[in-house]
Chains A and B, each alone.
Chain A
Amino acid sequence: MKAAGVLVAIALALALQTSLARFVVGGTAALDLVLVVVIYVALTSGPVTGMLAGSLAGIIQDALSSGTIGIGGLAKAVVGFAAGVIGQQFIVTAAFPRFVMFVVATIVHAALFMGMYVVLGLKEFRSPWAAVLSQALANAAVGIFAFAIIESLPGAMERRRFRRSKR
């Protein structure tokens, strides 16, 4: 059940990233929704689920891009695993620690992803830091928003049920 939820979340993120994002934000360059989902899954479900989610999502993302299949998968698997470990070792439930988590994870992901391309001599990235930083901030904002929405859902439903029962 949990695995199905993760798969649906990844599929939704990919669909949003490839299809809907261009209607909403006028392009996809400043946001990696799939990475946001991977970090969210890692923080809520632990390192193994985070790593497997990252691996699967990254491979699909690689296959849909024109890059080498596996590089994105590897980067997301490592980030998913690391985020999961940190989520288990430390209390990452307040907004600020989560924000920092998303920012750092995005930067680590970019370093791994671009680093592997550069080491393998497949691609060169000229001064990508501004783009990486803006993506990190955008991912963090979306991640915090997603956490807030998902965590407020049970309470909101409970309140609604309570109001109805009072009538």
Chain B
Amino acid sequence: MAAARAALKIKMKTLSKILILLLFPAIAVAHVGSPDVYYEGKAGPYSVQVVVRVPPVIPGVAEVEVKTLSGNVNTVRMVPLRIQGLGAELAPVADIGQRSLDDARSFHAGLWLMQRGAWKVQVTVEGDLGHGELSIPVAAAPTIMRPMQWPLRWLLGILMTILAVGFVGMAGAAVREGISTPGATALTASSNRARKAMVFVALFVVVVLTLGGIWWKSEAADTSRWIYSVPRVKASLVVPNALSITLKKPDTAGWAQRTKLNDLIPDHGHLVHLFLVRVPQLDRMVHLHPGGDGSGAEGQFLQTLPAMPAGRYQVFADIVHSTGFPETQISEIVLPEIQSGTPQGDDSSVSAAPLNQSAAGQTATLDGGMRMRWLNEPSFHAGEPIGLRFRVEDAAGAPATDLEPYMGMAGHLVVVREDCQVFAHLHPGWSAPMATVELASGASAMKSMDHASDGAVSPEIVFPYGFPEAGRYRLFVQVRHAGKVETGVFDAQVTSGGAKL
């Protein structure tokens, strides 16, 4: 009934709102400017790498690439499902992945995501080792409304002109000759009537096109209500050294109505992961976990700051809703110097050389003579799936054997582009938030995942990811050693043009 009502109600919206939305930069939920999901894990007995390229409009087609790393695989099936709620139980017919001509281990499918919200892509692998399955969470939200490009605008404009002129001309021909006896020549009276008919029909065409334009704008305005805009978290200093955080809803009408701020679920044991990065040099980063401020107000958090130099900081706040829908909220704040305080619990802080002064080194020095090596070749292309590989070594250069889990994971990686238009908080195995992976996979499946909760942490950590766009990036790699969070800082120059999985 709602569909019937919506289909018949033509609502006038202002064009200015649409134009503002058209100017929004590409944004994404769960991270900023980095919507695609990268996953490396086990589908039963098979090791697989999965990339889900999320469509910028919903309903839209997500491009899914699966690369199998073990076993002889016959078939890979992929299907989208809601993570929970209505429609989460019944799967549509799965797509059979098309095997790549270039790489027999790679499979591709285009999956239709028909609604906004938290989805998962269920991947089923069949081969000589039997049957394996895994689920990858995907946040579906329309983020852009592209204006029509000029070649298409011109093409449609020309066609519309031809059709309009042709229609008016046909009306004239119909009145002038259409009802005349075959063979009779047109009379002057008929010609006059034809001219009048053409004027009338021309006006009719103008009215129809105007009404069509109004309808189009109405549809565009309806769509714009659901364009996801990154919420602007409110951050303010509570003297002398506390930071007050107020989470916000996205400001487009549809999302504002739908989003709740009292339904957050813990991700690695915390409702909010707060990152402050000093700009423009990205030379200071703190990773904090604010708690409730005691007021009981929705979305209200308070965090005691560690010692920090004065400056302008970019704020990123990662949260996960109970639906499995993740968000990163952003803000900026200018802080005075915070003179004392050390990070507590899972909080951490790191200083580094300014971005424009740092040599693009492959080794970072940690406390106690330990080192962190970046094992990838320093050549990165936008959109290219890659395992960002790091190894922690002790003072003697041997792989560290005494790393501890940091919030249940072997490590955390924060990726920030120089202009802060790209931000991602990654983990070994996947680029999605842990809480959404748990919801997508189910509790039983999580037990089989190696995410270092048992205390055994490998010194070599791999973060599957793909830099979304070209530019200069700073990477903060965090591990825990001897009860203390250690952070290795690296820089990467990413060029345009990516490759497939």
Chains A and B come from one and the same complex: no
